[in-house]
Amino acid sequence: MSLVPKAILFAARHHQYQLRKGTRVPYMAHLMNVCRILVEKDCRDEIVAAGILHDVVEDTPVTIQEVESEFGPVVAELVRGATELDKLEKKAIEKEATWKARKKQTIHFLEHEASLDQLRVSAADKLDNLRNIYDDQKRIGKKVWERFSAPRNKQNWYFGEIARIIQLKGKTDLVLAELGKDLKKLHRRVF
């Protein structure tokens, strides 16, 4: 079986009972949207597979070692880049107390350490997240912010930093340039 269908089946098995925060939408919808964004940008199969698997370590009992065993070191490294460090190490965390620290760590990684391919996966993930927030905000208004562990102003800061980094890195990569432009535009609409 080729990499992308294998990733879809693997993700579906491990995310099967999960829903998007505060909705009845199966979590797989997000993963398939990320897949679509990456496919539409003509990303190679390893990047698309990592996009599908980007939350499997954060949100399920699956370890990064299992991802590597199933999908190889390239996909595992891309998933590692999309996974918060404490979740990568499967540490218990106190969400409220550490939200900003975790997001600062993500921002630092994306700005200073991430490969172009890791940035593509993260950009596609954040773009779909912003699209969902935008659509839900139009539908239910400010209630959308009640779903999240951090308030609107902190989300504004976080997504703004992600958009800035993707645009900056997009100066040397056409795919990131396009994703960065879309992120910046949507960030303005949402916030």
Say if CB 155 and CB 100 are below 8 A apart. no
Three-class HEC string of 42-86: CCCHHHHHHHHHCCHHHHCCCCHHHHHHHHCHHHHHHHHHCCCHH
Q: Which of 45, 59, 77, 178 is catalytic?
A: 59
- How far is 47 from 20, CA to CA, in rounded Å? 23
Active site residue 59: yes
Active site residue 77: no
- How far is 189 from 186, CA to CA, in rounded Å? 5
Any idea how long the chain is?
Answer: 191
Q: Which of 40, 55, 58, 68 is catalytic?
A: 58
Q: Which residues are catalytic?
A: 58-59
